[in-house]
Amino acid sequence: MTWDWSAVGDFMPHFWDGLLVTLQALVLGSLISFALGLVWALLMRTPTRWVRWPVGVVTEFIRNTPLLVQLFFLFYVLPEWNITFSAMTTGVVAIGLHYSTYTMQVYRAGIEGVPAGQWEAATALNLPLTRTWTAVILPQAIRRVVPALGNYVISMLKDTPLLMAITVLDMLGEARLFSQQNFQFTEPLTVIGVAFILISYPASLLMRALERRLVR
């Protein structure tokens, strides 16, 4: 095995394309998982069992089946019911949905961590329920869980290569395509491996710093 710098050079334009796709999937997937996870967490706190029960079953199901299976299902089965999205859209939705079932648990812990006295003070001041949530409870709950959410973003980054399975050309997709066309595997795979570390390690340091700042 020899290392060929010219292969690295040839791969780089494809690498940038792949990096862009990976980061897009990561950012959009994160946003979906943050928003949807909060919705699940709030629905699980409604007094009616008829809301909590279905939400509980669906999210439990999604959390306990592999992301790859969900990707295939959304990409290959939905079109049979004439529901079609681009591969990228499908991928982003699947990742966001899958991870929302984890972020909902993070939010739940954050919400339960807000002391009962905060609810009581809000009642004593006669704040309406929605205002109590938006002005008192959620700002405190979310502040506590930012680091935990961040850790799921790093996890999600490492799951983005699964998108290759539904034809999305993320970093790994680009590397594989390049390798098969040029019979050079070492260089492109090494480049994207280094790229993953360069993104995720500083991100985890950032999360640790945030944790020190926010969780008191």
Partner 1 sequence: MSADTPLTEDSAANPAVDGSELIRFDKVTKRFGDNTVLDDLDFSVASGKHVTLIGPSGSGKTTILRLLMTLLKPDEGTIKVGGDYLTHEEKNGKLVPAGEKHIREVRKNIGMVFQQFNLFPNMKVLRNITEAPVTVLGMSKDAAEERARELLDMVGLAEHIDKYPSQLSGGQQQRVAIARALAMRPQVLLLDEVTSALDPELVVGVLDVLRDIARSTDITMLCVTHEMSFARDISDQVLMFDSGRVLESGPPEKIFGDPEHDRTREFLGAVL
Q: Which residues bind partner 1 (CB under 8 A)?
A: 115, 117-118, 120-121, 123-128, 131, 135-136, 139-140, 143, 216
Q: Report the alpha-carbon distance of residue 188 to residue 209 in Å, rounded.
A: 32
26-53 in b/e burial notation, b at 16+ Cβ within 10 A?
Answer: bebbbebbbebbbebbbbbeeeeeeeee
Least distance between partner 1 and beta carbon 215 (Å) = 13
Least distance between partner 1 and beta carbon 35 (Å) = 21
Q: State both tokens at 74.
A: 């959304």
Least distance between partner 1 and beta carbon 107 (Å) = 16
Name which of 127 and 154 has its Cβ closer to partner 1: 127
Name which of 110 and 188 has its Cβ closer to partner 1: 110
Name which of 28 and 136 has its Cβ closer to partner 1: 136
Name which of 1 and 116 has its Cβ closer to partner 1: 116
Least distance between partner 1 and beta carbon 129 (Å) = 8
Least distance between partner 1 and beta carbon 47 (Å) = 12
Residues ≥6 apart with Cβ < 8 Å to 208: 147
Name which of 1 and 117 has its Cβ closer to partner 1: 117
